[in-house]
Amino acid sequence: MAAAKPPVYLILGAAGSGRREVLADLLEGRTEEGDEPVVLLSGEEAPDPADGRLGAVLRWRWTPERTIDAAWPEGAGPIFFITDGRRNPMDQIEAFKSWLEAGGGELARVLCVVNCRLAEKNRPLAAWYDACIHFSDVVLLNRREGVANKWLSDFRAHFAALCYPCLFELVKAGRVGNPALILDPLALRMSHFFDAEKEWIVSNEAGEEIDPDDPDAADDDEELTAEAVEDPYMARNAGGRRIKELPDLAKYLE
């Protein structure tokens, strides 16, 4: 019998958002027995007081070719991959998918830890968080001290209006209310980028999108075309630049 693929959690967020403190709380709240979890942390991330609570921590490196240099932790239990909190998250998500597939892992969930004070203070970062949350199953609202309630309400209402299926949870003093709920591998993300099967658009000869499951959507003799749907945040123009460019997060960090 083939060995089960280890579940892998991807953790997004800006440097200084408290991602390692939140992760330590999640790990301490785990009830499953078995192989010990492994945390993969960018070699560029500064030390954090929560590091001693994370257990086994390995460092990964971002290469000049924009790939992830990290040995696959053989025999590990759940793997928690923390992105570089100063680099473009879309580049890292793209490289992470390749690394995950090469290692034979299975994505459990994508978590995004939001530094609410940082986001409230810097309105241009709304586009940065929009991108991260597009890929996220769970959004953890952290660093809320001094943040206006109206800003929090508006932030959540923005995604509710767009019918985002992801779960929004408050973090209090570095802790989440229900770690099991956060780590449940049920997919709740908007993006289909990590899905095994591609999403397709089917069009008729006039270029109109049709429902391929509707027997009356097209004539029997009409030629149909199918095109794979590309995630809007991964799409690039003819020059190779991403169509949806994000603000440089590093400019807003201390």
Residues in Cβ contact with 16 at an 8 Å cutoff, skipping those fewer than 6 apart: 85, 115, 118, 253, 254
CB-based burial, 29-54: b 16+ in 10 Å, e otherwise: eeeeeeeebbbbbbeebeebebbeeb
- Give the H or E element holding residue 126: helix 126-134
| Pairing relationship of beta strands 209-210 and 106-115 according to DSSP bridges | unpaired
The residues facing 69 across adjacent strands are 61
pLDDT surpassing 90 at residue 156: yes
Q: CA torsion 83→86→88→10, rounded to 10°? A: 10
Condensed to tens digits (0 to 9), the pLDDT of residues 70-116 reads: 999 887 789 999 999 999 999 999 999 999 999 999 999 999 999 99
Query: What is the C-alpha R_g of the chain?
Result: 20
Q: CA torsion 247→170→47→68, rounded to 10°? A: -50
- Per DSSP, which regions of 72-206 are E strands? 79-82, 106-115, 138-142, 167-170, 200-203
pLDDT surpassing 50 at residue 2: no
Condensed to tens digits (0 to 9), the pLDDT of residues 51-68 reads: 999 999 999 999 999 999
Q: Which residue has the tokens 């530094």?
A: 115
DSSP string, 88-123: -HHHHHHHHHHHHHHHT-EEEEEEEEEEHHHHHH-G
How many CA atoms lie less than 13 Å away from 46 in the CB half-sphere?
8
Q: What is the pTM of this model?
A: 0.88
CATH 3.40.50.300: does it fit domain 7-193?
yes
